[in-house]
Amino acid sequence: MEKITVDYQSCDKLVDFLKKHPVPEDKEEPTKINLPEDVTKNFYLALVAICHQTTPMTGPALQGTVDGTFLRGWDYLRAAMLKATANDNSIVYPASLSKITDKTLSGIIKGDDGKGEISNLEERVRLLNDMGSKMQQSGAGSVQQLFEKSEGHIDNYGEKKGLYELLSEFEAYSDPVKKKSSYFLSLMKNQGFWNYSDEENLLPVVDYHEIRIALRLGTVKINDEELRSKLANKQEVTWQDDIDIRSGVQKALVYVAKESGLGHSKLHYFLWNLSRNCCNRDSPHCSSHGGKCALPQRYVQLGQEIGSVSCLFSPFCESSGKEGKLFDHVVKTHYY
């Protein structure tokens, strides 16, 4: 038996739920981005490039206060980067990215109280340097030029390179499962910046939140006992195990998105929000939110409409209310 398999019966339970209930729109939480359009595109390119392991299984989470609001993970990184970019639009363009230093990025991350820190700072700086330098070498002064070079294609077509391949030339976007590139392309679409000639080739976004909820729902099964034990005990897995697990989750998401008619982006935002807020690592809301759930209001409203007082997936989740839940796996990576 394969180490990792998709359980289509469990997938169908999720599909059934998605067909019965109105899933909220896929969008970023309200954030005022008063930047010129081209600056915003490059802002997201740089932001997504270094957004990985912000709430790691081991070690401190990225968190702090920006403009008086306490934030964590992606939300904190976005707010800190946005504030810096608003002060100096040039920092998200190739010339600046190729020369950004540890000191500069550290200063951006500090937050209002000067205490904000991010793990593997040097690695993130290296990823930005690599991307900025390669864009300069190719003559691209903006990510918009990559879009124009692709002629709006996600995958390669004929002898032309699509956006997946163009982005993969940057180390930050070289993930075989294409997490960051899929997320960046989804952002460009959802923000109304880009439309794609082959949108059907845009893959689901797979990060650790979606991994965790897939393993707990049972849409993906870990059949190898040694690997399953590592996930249950928060032990590090191999690089290949990571790729295999995420590829399995991606395969399940492709199936669910197609069968439900929901689409990859809408499915991603739904699962991502539920997992990071309800199906968290150590205190999931299987029976009750406990008054501490930070779900965005549109998802709270859905719960109210269907009479749910706990995680929306509790009625059909294989691990709901059970001990020994699996965790997203521990791996050293900058892919997600």
Domain boundaries, the chain: 4-26+204-316, 37-201
Q: Which amino acid is at 274?
A: L
Q: Quote the radius of gyration of the chain (alpha carbons, Å).
A: 20
Q: Which pLDDT score is estimated for 169?
A: 98
Query: pTM value?
Result: 0.91
Report d(CA 110, CA 37) in Å as an integer: 26
Q: How confident is the model at residue 30 (pLDDT cuts 50, 70, 90)?
A: low
List, for residues 224-283, the tens digit of each pLDDT value.
Answer: 999 999 999 999 999 999 999 999 999 999 999 999 999 888 999 999 999 999 999 999
List, for residues 34-62, the tens digit of each pLDDT value.
Answer: 899 999 999 999 999 999 999 877 777 89
Whether the pLDDT of residue 131 is over 90: the answer is yes
Average of pLDDT values for 11-18? Answer: 98
Average of pLDDT values for 58-72? Answer: 88
Q: Which pLDDT score is estimated for 265?
A: 86
Question: Which phi and psi (to 5°) does residue 94 adopt?
Answer: -50, -45
> How many CB atoms lie under 10 A from the CB of residue 303?
19
Q: Which pLDDT score is estimated for 132?
A: 98
Whether the pLDDT of residue 23 is over 80: the answer is yes
- List % helix, strand, coil for the chain (3-state, nearest 5): 50, 5, 45
Q: How confident is the model at residue 122 (pLDDT cuts 50, 70, 90)?
A: very high
Q: Which pLDDT score is estimated for 206?
A: 95
Report d(CA 27, CA 34) in Å as an integer: 17
- Residue 219's Cα: distance from chain center in Å? 19
Report d(CA 292, CA 288) in Å as an integer: 10
Whether the pLDDT of residue 88 is over 90: the answer is yes
Q: Which residues pair with 6 in a beta bridge?
A: 220
Report d(CA 85, CA 29) in Å as an integer: 19
List, for residues 192-209, the tens digit of each pLDDT value.
Answer: 999 999 999 999 999 999
Whether the pLDDT of residue 301 is over 80: the answer is yes
Average pLDDT, rounded, for the chain:
94
Report d(CA 217, CA 328) in Å as an integer: 13
Q: Which pLDDT score is estimated for 197?
A: 96
> How many CB atoms lie under 10 A from the CB of residue 13?
20
Q: How confident is the model at residue 114 (pLDDT cuts 50, 70, 90)?
A: confident
Report d(CA 328, CA 210) in Å as an integer: 8
Domain 4-26+204-316 has CATH 1.10.1670.10: yes
Q: Which pLDDT score is estimated for 33?
A: 86
The structure tokens listed for 234 are 């928060």
Instruction: Give the containing element (helix H, strand E) for 134.
Output: helix 121-138
